[in-house]
Amino acid sequence: MVRDLVSPPLGRMRDSGTPGRSLWDDARRRLLRNRAAMAGLVVLAALVIAAVVGPALLAYRFDEINKQDVWLAPLARGHLLGSDALGRDLLARLLIGLRVSLAIGLMATSVSLVVGVAWGATAGYLGGVVDEVMMRIVDVLYSLPFIFFVILLMAAFGSHIVLMFIAIGAVEWLTMARIVRGQTQSLKYRPFIEAARAAGLTTGAVIRRHIVPNLLGPVVVYVTLTIPGVILAESFLSFLGLGVQPPMASLGALIATGASDMELAPWLLLFPALAMIAALMAFNFLGDGLRDALDPKDR
């Protein structure tokens, strides 16, 4: 009986409008009916597959310099999207840049997810002085300009791609912590949490087994909306020359190069910009669909 009381309610609760259907099943059905979200998911899947598999299928490497193929227009000499000032194939560099930008977005968001969820859940559950101290730290970090803080970290420790994961993730967790803290405060007095404490579970066990699983809805939505922000932050840093360094490429680095050569070779700016727009819109459509599907007020 105690086991039933302390189990998280997400898997057990049933939609009042549809007997026998859990809230997660209902959310999945609502998401599948959202055409914009499904279109975003399809586009995102296509971009990921192209970024992972595409470079191995091309005749040119992304860092291969061909002095005879400088600034070729699309479809010329086997360069489907043209070439740049060093004769490097734009399609190969675009796919590598897309892979790097997506990897930075996913990894930096993962860092912010782990830190933000742990910080916010701990502060919200413990409350009192601990909550005040932890959230004042968040407020102080919030007062620092986001880009300035990232640029400071990059300038101090270098522009290595792994450092970009840590640097961007180290500031993106602040909003995640606030969201998780608010959700935790609304959960910690629920009957199943009280039952878990009465059953003798430690604070860490309650947070790990019962608080965090019941935060998955808003956390998943926020993650899908954070990844585009991280990609834009990386693109901005690369545009300033503080991000990914040559010969490696990212969408931001490609856009920066295309902007400087747009009068001579406008395709160098057009195609990376279209790829970034497609990725950002796909994430936003998917995030909006998840938000609508998991919103209990719409049930």
> Any idea what the CATH number is for the domain that residue 211 is in?
1.10.3720.10
Q: Kindly calculate the radius of gyration of the chain based on its CA atoms and give it in whole angstroms.
A: 23
Q: Quick check: is 268 in a domain?
A: yes
Total domains present in the chain: 1
Q: Quick check: is 73 in a domain?
A: no
Q: Tell me what the mean pLDDT of segment 77-103 comes to.
A: 93
CA 273 to chain centre: 19
Predicted local confidence at residue 6, as pLDDT: 43
CA 131 to chain centre: 27
The predicted-structure confidence for 38-85, as pLDDT tens digits, reads as follows 999 999 999 999 999 999 999 899 989 998 888 899 999 889 999 999
Q: Quick check: is 107 in a domain?
A: yes
Q: Quick check: is 284 in a domain?
A: yes
The rounded distance, in Å, linking the Cα atoms of 31 and 200 is 38
Written as six digits, the tokens of 110 are 């993962």
The rounded distance, in Å, linking the Cα atoms of 182 and 168 is 23
Name the band, by pLDDT with cuts 50, 70 and 90, for residue 35: very high
pLDDT(17) > 70? no
> Looking at per-residue confidence, does 146 or 276 come out higher?
276
Q: What percent of the chain has pLDDT over 70?
A: 89
- Report for 46-50, 102-106, 217-221: range of highest mean pLDDT: 46-50
The predicted-structure confidence for 134-189, as pLDDT tens digits, reads as follows 999 999 888 877 777 777 777 777 667 777 777 787 778 888 899 899 989 988 88
Q: Quick check: is 1 in a domain?
A: no
pLDDT(7) > 50? no
The residues, any chain, with a CB within 8 Å of residue 65's CB and separated by 6 or more, are 86, 87, 88
Predicted local confidence at residue 268, as pLDDT: 94
Predicted local confidence at residue 190, as pLDDT: 87
Domain span at 179: 22-57+80-298
Q: Quick check: is 16 in a domain?
A: no
From the list 281, 159, 293, 182, the residue with the least C-alpha distance to 227 is 281
> Looking at per-residue confidence, does 36 or 25 come out higher?
36
User: Rounded to 5 degrees, what are φ and ψ at 167?
Assistant: -65, -45
Q: What is the mean pLDDT of the chain?
A: 83
Contact 201, 207 (CB under 8 A): no
